[in-house]
């Protein structure tokens, strides 16, 4: 059996009872370590599970999946995913590969940013398409997600922005030369995401959002150091959200008054928030 097990968002104790029992039954346990990060190192996982944990980087998962699946017809193998197993398409690929090899698959779900983002006070069914924002480079400044934001805004829906992480990435030069030298990990901050969003709007001038658009910055959701701050995009540029992981929500144009009341508690400036909510979002306080 291949078990694909969600670990939740915080630490080793977030795994479900069902997930923990599955892990304890496994001969090999892999931890996917590039689409997200857990707030503890693998040593704590190993102590809690009573099992050795093998860190699976992008190269192993995407190019050497046979190593993970080897022998899974005869023994149990666990593939651990931060958040929920289906939070990244890579894990779907692994399940498809297992099925092709006639390996039984059991998926054990857990909390992910896709549902835990409700902690910010916006109702989950009022969210539209989720987007990802990647780091700009000198020669690559992608804005393909801009149309998704516009579509959400036209429907009055909120947009969850997942921010880029770079783990075990090679520079272009090292990649070209075939050198296995990796860059230090980088995690996009809310400040960087806002700056990139505003640059795109300035270039496109299609009014998908403005510096006065209400947004919510969320850091380390589901952990003891969780931080949520609401305000305009311009205001959030100046907030220190601390360490990773960060997410950003662009508030939809049809914010419900109960959502506004909840979100106001996190506002940088409550009076300013109320004014903008009434003026631009038609929310009566």
Specify the pLDDT at position 75.
97
Superfamily of structural domain 114-281 = Tetrapyrrole methylase, C-terminal domain (3.30.950.10)
Helices 17-24 and 42-49: crossing angle, nearest 10°?
Answer: 80
CA distances from 73 to 11, 28, 62 (A): 30, 13, 20
Span 54-83, mean pLDDT? 89
Specify the pLDDT at position 221.
96
10, 51, 6: which is closest to 27 by C-alpha? 51
Q: Residue 30 in contact with residue 242, Cβ under 8 Å?
A: no
Both tokens of 77, joined, read: 């193998």
Q: Checking DSSP bridges between strand 246-250 and strand 214-219, what pairing results, if any?
A: antiparallel
At residue 176 the predicted structure's pLDDT band, cuts being 50, 70 and 90, is: low
CA distances from 141 to 77, 196, 233 (A): 40, 9, 19
Q: Residue 267 gets which letter from DSSP?
A: B
69 known ligand binder = no
Percentage of the chain lying above the pLDDT 90 cut: 78
What lies within 8 Å, CB to CB, of 186 at 6+ separation is 135, 164, 165, 166, 169
DSSP letter string, 185-225: PEE--HHHHHHHHHHHHHHH-S-S--TTSEEEEEESTTSTT
Q: Residue 83 gets which letter from DSSP?
A: B
Span 27-48, mean pLDDT? 88
Q: Residue 155 gets which letter from DSSP?
A: T
Q: What is the pTM of this model?
A: 0.92
258 known ligand binder = no
CATH of 2-111, one of 3.10.440.10, 3.40.1010.10, 3.90.700.10, 2.60.40.10: 3.40.1010.10
Tens of pLDDT, residues 234-270: 999 999 999 999 999 999 999 999 999 999 999 999 9
**Domain range list for the chain:** 2-111, 114-281
Q: Residue 230 in contact with residue 190, Cβ under 8 Å?
A: no
9 known ligand binder = yes
103 known ligand binder = no
- Tell me the pLDDT of the chain averaged across its residues: 92
246 known ligand binder = yes
Say how far apart CA 277 and CA 282 lie, in whole Å.
Answer: 6
Say how far apart CA 75 and CA 220 lie, in whole Å.
Answer: 35
Say how far apart CA 20 and CA 13 lie, in whole Å.
Answer: 9
Both tokens of 224, joined, read: 């003891």
Specify the pLDDT at position 33.
76
Span 159-171, mean pLDDT? 83
At residue 5 the predicted structure's pLDDT band, cuts being 50, 70 and 90, is: very high
What backbone phi and psi angles, to 5 degrees, belong to 24?
-65, -20
């Amino acid at each position: 059996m291949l078990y694909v097990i969600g670990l939740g968002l915080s630490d080793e104790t977030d795994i479900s009872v069902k997930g923990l029992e599955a892990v304890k039954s496994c001969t090999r346990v892999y931890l996917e370590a590039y689409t997200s990060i857990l707030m503890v190192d693998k040593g704590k996982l190993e102590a809690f599970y009573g099992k050795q944990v093998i860190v699976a980087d992008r190269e192993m998962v995407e190019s050497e999946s046979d190593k993970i699946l080897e022998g899974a017809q005869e023994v149990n193998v666990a593939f651990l995913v931060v958040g929920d197993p289906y939070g990244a398409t890579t894990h779907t690929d692994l399940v498809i590969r297992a099925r092709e090899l006639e390996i039984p698959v059991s998926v054990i779900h857990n909390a992910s940013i896709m549902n835990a983002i409700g902690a910010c006070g916006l109702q989950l069914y009022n969210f539209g398409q989720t987007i990802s924002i990647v780091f700009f480079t000198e020669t690559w400044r992608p804005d393909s997600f801009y149309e998704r934001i516009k579509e959400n805004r036209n429907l009055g829906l909120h947009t969850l922005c997942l921010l880029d992480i770079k783990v075990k990435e090679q520079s272009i030069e090292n990649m070209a030369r075939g050198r296995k030298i990796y860059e230090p990990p980088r995690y996009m901050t809310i400040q960087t995401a806002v700056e990139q969003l505003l640059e795109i709007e300035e270039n496109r001038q299609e009014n998908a959002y403005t510096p006065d658009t209400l947004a919510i910055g969320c850091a380390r959701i589901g952990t003891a150091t969780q931080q949520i701050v609401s305000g305009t995009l311009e205001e959030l540029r100046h907030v220190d959200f601390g360490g990773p992981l960060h997410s950003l929500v662009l508030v939809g144009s049809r914010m419900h008054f109960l959502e506004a009341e909840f979100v106001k508690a996190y506002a940088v400036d409550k009076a300013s928030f109320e004014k903008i909510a009434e003026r631009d979002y038609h929310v009566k306080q």
